[in-house]
Amino acid sequence: MRIAAVLNREGGTLRTTDVERLCADLGEAFAGAGRHLQCCVTDGAGLLETLDEQTGRDDIDCIVAGGGDGTVSAAAAACWRSGKTLAILPCGTMNFFARTLGVPLDLAEAVPALAGANEALADIATANGRPFIHQFSVGMQPRMVIEREQQDYNSRLGKILASARAALSPLMRPPSFPAVVTADGAASKTHLSLLAISTNPHGEGHLPYPDTFDAGRLGLYRAPPLRPRAALQLAADLTLGNWSANGDFEAASADRVVVEFPRRKKGAKAVVDGELVDLEPEVDVRLQRQALRVLSLAEPVQAPSSAGVKAGAAAG
């Protein structure tokens, strides 16, 4: 397997990491596993061009992505469109997809573990054609991200603290918006403070991320208009993984979810894999089963199939 490591030195914990040393460690670890790796260091401005260049090469089979949430999401999109394999270094704030793939969160442990990881097929989802690997959300989370981006931070810990401070505003003044949610053809008109759709249903007992990468169903989560006390309780339950016991939180699963926002405000935002995007009047979320090749240390739950990978590559 021939591998290109694409490292965004401006993303996640790589801001404060010796990137040249990391490149050397990656090369040594992958060579020891019989895999050839070359390192491509870029910045935020050059990330998409670098990913397009590397995934477009016939002599590259796999991309090892290192950076923040945006870097990993962009790498996943590029690998899905090109049919290349994705491997993830845990350099982000929460590293949700890395957790799902069983990647150690300590970078020194993750490098040799990934070098010997097995190839597997993971689910990926699209929101109006835009691929994502973790979650699309509207309501409370976009408000938190907007508040966080107005603060300064230079490290993973700084971003976590900024996120905690940013959470106070939407929790003390929870948003409320009307929506029409159609899950697998069944429509419901509702008012919400939170709506989230994940690539696979989240597991319990930990932060909100899936325990499996190929469950074959979207996770659908919503909460009605909340008062501050209820919003604080829901935030605590989500953090601790106790959300199933929260009476204000509804969890379901689906193959396809279409959401209409009849009174969408000008400048309204959504969050896709931790990144702010413009909220469109209608969002069509579809699951692409086993459409993304990954290097994983976790075991798949579904039988392997190459059909999803071909469909994903063709969709680009």
Which structural domain, as residue segments, surrounds residue 30?
2-116
Q: Identify the pLDDT of residue 145.
A: 81
In this structure, the answer to whether residues 147 and 284 fall within a common structural domain is yes
In this structure, the answer to whether residues 186 and 85 fall within a common structural domain is no
- Strand, helix or coil for residue 275: strand
Q: Show Cβ contacts of residue 189 under 8 Å, excluding neighbours closer than 6 positions.
A: 178, 179, 180
In this structure, the answer to whether residues 136 and 111 fall within a common structural domain is no
- Give dist(CA 218, CA 253) in Å, integer: 5
Q: 127 lies in a domain?
A: no
In this structure, the answer to whether residues 144 and 222 fall within a common structural domain is yes
For the chain, the domain total comes to 2
Beta bridge partners of 221: 196, 251
Q: 305 lies in a domain?
A: no
Torsion of CA 97, 24, 52, 12, to 10 degrees: 40
User: Residue 241 corresponds to which tokens in the numbers above?
Assistant: 């993984």
Domain boundary among 116, 146, 177: 116
φ, ψ of residue 174 to 5 degrees: the values are -60, 140
Q: Identify the pLDDT of residue 162.
A: 53
Q: 315 lies in a domain?
A: no
Packing angle between helix 69-82 and helix 47-55, nearest 10 degrees? Answer: 30
Q: Identify the pLDDT of residue 299.
A: 86
CATH number at residue 179: 2.60.200.40
In this structure, the answer to whether residues 193 and 91 fall within a common structural domain is no
Q: 123 lies in a domain?
A: no
Cα distances (Å, whole numbers) of residue 126 to 113, 135, 301:
29, 10, 21
In this structure, the answer to whether residues 109 and 138 fall within a common structural domain is no
Global pTM?
Answer: 0.89
- Give dist(CA 115, CA 27) in Å, integer: 9
In this structure, the answer to whether residues 191 and 278 fall within a common structural domain is yes
CATH number at residue 87: 3.40.50.10330
- Give dist(CA 162, CA 179) in Å, integer: 29
In this structure, the answer to whether residues 181 and 265 fall within a common structural domain is yes
Taken in order 65, 67, 72, 75, the sign of the CA dihedral is negative
Taken in order 267, 271, 274, 275, the sign of the CA dihedral is negative
Q: Identify the pLDDT of residue 163.
A: 55
- Give dist(CA 97, CA 212) in Å, integer: 10
- Give dist(CA 37, CA 55) in Å, integer: 14
Q: 99 lies in a domain?
A: yes
Domain boundary among 52, 81, 116: 116
Q: 137 lies in a domain?
A: yes
Please list the pLDDT of the chain residue by residue as tens digits (316 residues): 899 999 999 988 898 899 999 999 999 999 999 999 999 999 999 999 999 999 999 999 999 999 988 899 999 999 999 999 999 999 988 899 999 999 999 999 999 999 999 999 999 999 999 999 999 999 988 888 877 666 555 555 555 555 555 566 678 889 999 999 999 999 999 999 999 999 999 999 999 999 999 999 999 999 999 999 999 999 899 988 998 899 999 999 999 999 999 999 999 999 999 889 999 999 999 999 999 999 999 988 876 665 555 545 444 4
In this structure, the answer to whether residues 78 and 143 fall within a common structural domain is no
User: Residue 56 corresponds to which tokens in the numbers above?
Assistant: 């477009």
User: Residue 187 corresponds to which tokens in the numbers above?
Assistant: 């429509």
Q: 309 lies in a domain?
A: no
In this structure, the answer to whether residues 152 and 97 fall within a common structural domain is no
In this structure, the answer to whether residues 19 and 75 fall within a common structural domain is yes
Quickly count: other Cβ atoms within 10 Å of residue 314's Cβ.
10
In this structure, the answer to whether residues 101 and 186 fall within a common structural domain is no
Q: 125 lies in a domain?
A: no
Domain boundary among 84, 116, 148: 116
